[in-house]
Structure 1
Amino acid sequence: MSELAGWNHTYSGKVRDLYVPEGASGLDDADAVLVVASDRVSAFDHVLEPGIPGKGELLTTLSLWWFDRIDVPNHLLPDHALAGDRVVERIPAEVSGRAMLVKPLDMFPIECVVRGYLTGSGWAEYREAQSVCGIPLPAGLENGDRLPEPIYTPAWKAPLGQHDENISFERTVELVGADVAEELRRLSLHVYERGSAIAEARGVIIADTKFEFGADRSTGEITLADEVLTSDSSRYWDAEAYAAGTTPEARMASFDKQIVRDWLAANWDKTGTPPALPADIVERTAARYRELLERLSRP
């Protein structure tokens, strides 16, 4: 966490640090928020050591790339301003490349998860109940299979240190009201489907992802916030490996932190403090993050 002239640190999540302009007492009365992505990496609701070098800049670059291509309102503010005839950068040089300037929103306490493929915790539940987050699915699916259509499986966004909790759509109605719940589902499916089409044209599959939204404080408009379609918030697979793969492991050649999850699952019983990540796991994860950005942004 950096000391930034003109900005006060107000909150740290698992990966991001938030700053408000000097003079604001906090997020409630700030007219802008600086969102700084660190190199921290989390898995199973724990922040791990060491971080992934360059990860903060890669995540920020990828989010900005996607925000430019997603046709829904987002929280970005201009990161420069005119002072007379001079252009003034509004993002401090110390965090340039890994920070976004955004407008504060009234955030909804919902993680808007969309799944296009059967994997992870969804696969575990499917084997037990032929459903994912209570949504019935056809029989005969295998780990890594594409779902007949993407499904929306929201979660309650828990405070730092607590576990996020899968919830029903009906529960989201109770939390945010019917109209907002319906719009969150519609927007989430729309962004996922648009992102998936763009990614697939570049040889990459988005297996699942999660979004966060908030209400614009002036207009009430539901607005896409936080990160979007990054390697931290999404499972990315190599489309060519997926098509040729004969096992789930071969099909799910990932461009995300699955390398970290797999190593941790094999080397930690989820009690106490997680072990430090080996250097080769850190290096492989960083390389996959870089390769994803290169693939997506290639002309």
Structure 2
Amino acid sequence: MASHNTVLLKTDIPYLKLHNKGKVREIFEIDNNLLLVATDRISAFDYILPNGIPNKGKVLTLMSEFWFNFTRELTENHLITTSIDEIDKIIKEDMEMLRGRSMLVKKVEVIPIECIVRGYLAGSGWKEYKENGTVCKMKLPDNLKESDKLPEPIFTPSTKAESGHDENISFEEAVKIAGRELSEEVRQKSIAIYKKASEYALTKGIIISDTKFEWGKYEDKIILIDEVLTPDSSRFWPLESYSPGKPQPSFDKQFVRDHLEQSGWDKQSSPPSLPEEVIRITSEKYLEAYAKLTGEKIPE
């Protein structure tokens, strides 16, 4: 059933309590823990698109597992297991649907700021820099080009706004939300993880332009949660074609966004279906990023 081309758009597990449903993930409660299930849904411009991307949920889950293990000496994290067979609450009939795309994690108190680290000038950072020479109100050197590498990675937090759009905020605004000590700790840890991961990724032919981390309080510790360094939470660029001064091709859903931008869709109404070709290429991009970074293929 779960061949390489079937997509999972929603999970129905009636015997587990639904804790939360996001754009891509469904989160269920199991005892004092949570089961994060990554579907193959894809969102763009705050809409969930009608088509799924084959294997996307597995890439997000297994890539997060890879990075949780990779960054373990820098920080603890919320991952308990990705092995669905170890979770006794799941009935046999659902194991196939959930295998490879589910993480059993600790339940934490989520810290309400998104911790973005940028090593390169792209996206909303580039937009702000063009206008004011700043990113999240931080002054940057003059004469930088789009996609330029920054002198040092910078921490540019954002908030979860009510409307669903994240809003970039300054570090001082993050302090108002989360407190100084906590904000400084997540800033330091986020930059350390970004540096270690991006140095490793370069050896695999991938530039991590920027990425978003989420943190939570567990007992008396701050631990890494959510997904980590995936194509959904990061900009991955191929190193071999990197050339500053313009946008870079990427291993994420930018390809889908570009297609939608050119499709004539007004971004106010239900999004159109994606052509087979766009779905196939997007799936291949996710799988290629996973294979390059981990040296593994997604298990059939």
TM bin, normalised by shorter chain, reads: 0.7 to 0.9
Structure 1 residue ranges, 4+ long, deviating more than 6 angstroms after superposition? none
Task: Tell me if the contact between 1:113 and 1:155 (Cα under 8 Å) persists in the aligned partners.
Answer: yes
Q: Which amino acid letter does the alignment assign opposite residue 64 of structure 1?
A: E
Structure 1 residue aligned with 2:106, among 78, 92, 103?
103
Tell me, which stretches of 5 or more residues in structure 2 are unaligned? 1-9
State whether structure 2 residue 78 is matched by structure 1 residue 114. Answer: no
**Alignment partners' CA distance in 2, 1:176 and 1:118:** 26
Q: CA deviation at 1:54?
A: 1.3
Which one scores higher on RCO, CA 8 angstroms, separation ≥ 6?
2
The equivalent of 1:295 in structure 2 is 292
Residues 6, 273 of structure 1: alpha-carbon distance in 2 compared, 3 angstrom cutoff: closer
Residue type of the alignment partner of 2:20: Y
**Is the CA contact (8 Å cut-off) linking 1:91 and 1:99 kept in structure 2?**
no
Q: TM-score, normalised by structure 1?
A: 0.88
1:46 shift after superposition:
1.8
Q: Distance in 2 between matches of 1:263 and 1:5?
A: 36
Tell me, yes or no, if structure 1 residue 56 matches structure 2 residue 57: yes
Q: What is the Cα-based RMSD across aligned positions, in Å?
A: 2.0
Give percent identity, aligned residues only: 44
Confirm or deny that 1:184 pairs with 2:182.
Answer: no
Offset at 1:246?
7.1
Question: Is residue 2:255 matched to residue 1:254?
Answer: no
List alignment gaps of at least 5 residues for structure 1. 22-29, 82-86
Residues 227-281 of structure 1: CA distance to partner in whole angstroms, max 9, x if unpaired? Answer: 0000000000111111xx47624xx221111101222233334323333222221
| Shift in Å, 1:90 | 4.3
CA distance in 1, matches of 2:293, 2:140: 31
Change in 2 beyond 3 A, CA 1:2/1:169: same
Structure 2 CA distance for partners of 1:189 and 1:33, relative to 1, 3 Å: same
Residue matched to 2:126: 123
TM-score, scaled to structure 2: 0.87
- 1:24 corresponding residue in structure 2: none
Partners of 2:267 and 2:180 in 1: CA distance = 37
On the 8 A contact 1:150/1:189 being kept in 2, the answer is yes
Alignment counterpart, residue 142 of structure 1, candidates 129, 141, 145:
145
Cα distance in 2 for partners of 1:185, 1:285 equals 32
Q: Which residue of 1 aligns with 2:6?
A: none
Shift of 1:204: 0.7
1:80 deviation in Å?
Answer: 6.2
